[in-house]
A and B are shown apart, each in its own frame.
Chain A
């Protein structure tokens, strides 16, 4: 993942504004996996993450003519992705609260690793993934944006719609919570073994 320079990014945005499909491809190839990984870890559902990812790119295409020349593409895309996630989450919570009797028909998330957990390699990586899942969405999004996506705290603050100072505080608490969860999270291998038997 090579960071894009400001001049390169301005040129890319200018081409996007002009409707250049080549520029779209560059942005799409660079950010699609990153935005999808973010959405997947936030929603914990591949189907939902795929739907939200589609919407992120369709919104970009609809807004190309209105992009500002100095638009930070990473911040723009992750902001849209984050807003879509929270919107989806609100709808889902509303739906759940309106039909509480149906909730009993759906099993709660299983305590053993999901196929996604099993697919990721390495014990530490699995533990980090599991620890991430136990974090609140507010904490998860900041550690993912800064720790995994490499956004600057300023850009991450823009994405989350809070001040940089508030983001630094939230990030600090999120890192501490993640470290605590990592200490608490049992080794996945043991769980996997229990599930397999």
Chain B
């Protein structure tokens, strides 16, 4: 019985909350903010055009490792080539 009474009182509390007024900013301020947001939406910075690629899985999972591997491979080949050249392979040092 007590639980029911408490639940009923709780429901009344929530109902009283639902009836509270909704407030708003002044129209002038609201328009200013809307204009500012529109301007930002319409003037998308160039960086955002590539955002899908930077944020997306293809960039993280494929392109970055591929570029890294290619650089490492080129470095390794150059080291081997120079070392070989020191010992007289592939021409004079």
Q: Do A and B bind each other?
A: yes
**Interface set of A (CB-CB < 8 Å, partner B):** 19-21, 24-25, 28, 32-34, 36-37, 40, 50, 53-54, 57-58, 60-62, 64-66, 120-121, 124-125, 128-129, 132, 143-144, 146-148, 150, 172, 175-176, 178-179, 182
> Provided the pairs A54-B33, A128-B16, A175-B10 are in contact, do residues A19 and B42 lie with their beta carbons within 8 angstroms?
yes
Query: Chain A at the B interface: mostly helix, strand, loop or mixed?
Result: helix
Q: Let me know if A147 and B13 touch, CB within 8 A.
A: yes
Interface digits, B16-27 against A, CB 8 Å rule (1 contact, 0 not)? 111111111100
Chain B residues with CB under 8 A of A21 = 38, 41-42
A128 CA / B12 CA spacing, docked (Å) = 11
Contact B41 A147 (CB under 8 A): no
Could you tell me if B30 and A182 are in contact, using CB atoms closer than 8 angstroms?
Answer: no
Chain B, 14-67, CB within 8 A of any chain A CB:
14, 16-25, 29-30, 33-34, 36-38, 40-42, 44, 48, 51-52, 55
Top-5 shortest CB links A-B: A147-B17, A33-B24, A147-B14, A61-B40, A37-B23
> Within the assembled complex, what's the spacing in Å between the Cα atoms of A109 and B20?
22
Docked-complex contact A61 and B23, CB < 8 angstroms: no
Q: Which B residues are CB-close (under 8 A) to A50?
A: 25, 29
Contact in complex: A175, B14 (CB < 8 Å)? yes
Would you call A57 and B37 a contact (CB within 8 A)?
yes
Identify the closest chain A residue to B44 (Cβ).
Answer: A19
The answer to whether B25 and A58 touch across the interface, beta carbons within 8 angstroms, is no
A40 to B17, CA, bound (A): 15
